[in-house]
Amino acid sequence: MTEAKAQIEKTVSENDVVLYMKGTKMAPQCGFSQRVAGVLNYMGVDFADVNVLADEEIRQGIKEYSDWPTIPQLYVKGEFVGGCDIVTEMTLSGELDQLFEKNGVAYNKDAADKIREANA
């Protein structure tokens, strides 16, 4: 096992919600990362952010780990959820709420409803 893969497995297993992104949750460095981090921040989700721009091995390793070619990548309870488009669709359909509820992840339901109202 590569060092990057071991580090990724440790991170996704030790945190309920992890976002592999370009930049950080407070300073995203691409629009797609900004959108997903913005949704999670707005919904009050406590999540770990991993800046793939800071480590090329992690940047490549996460793509291999998930077999998903793009970043950002969201993980909930160790399971890969998806990238920006999938997270956006799940937020608007309410599936993300259900995923958080099923896994005991705290989030602000009113904020999630406001996102859906604003995009209806």
Q: What is the pLDDT of residues 39-84, one digit of tens each?
A: 999 999 999 999 999 999 999 999 999 999 999 999 999 999 999 9
- The CATH superfamily holding the domain 3-118 is Glutaredoxin (3.40.30.10)
Q: List C-alpha distances in Å: 104 to 24, 56, 62, 65, 100.
A: 24, 32, 25, 24, 6
Domain boundaries, the chain: 3-118
pLDDT of 1 higher than 90:
no
Supply the pTM of this predicted model. Answer: 0.96
Give CA–CA dist 34/72, Å, rounded.
9
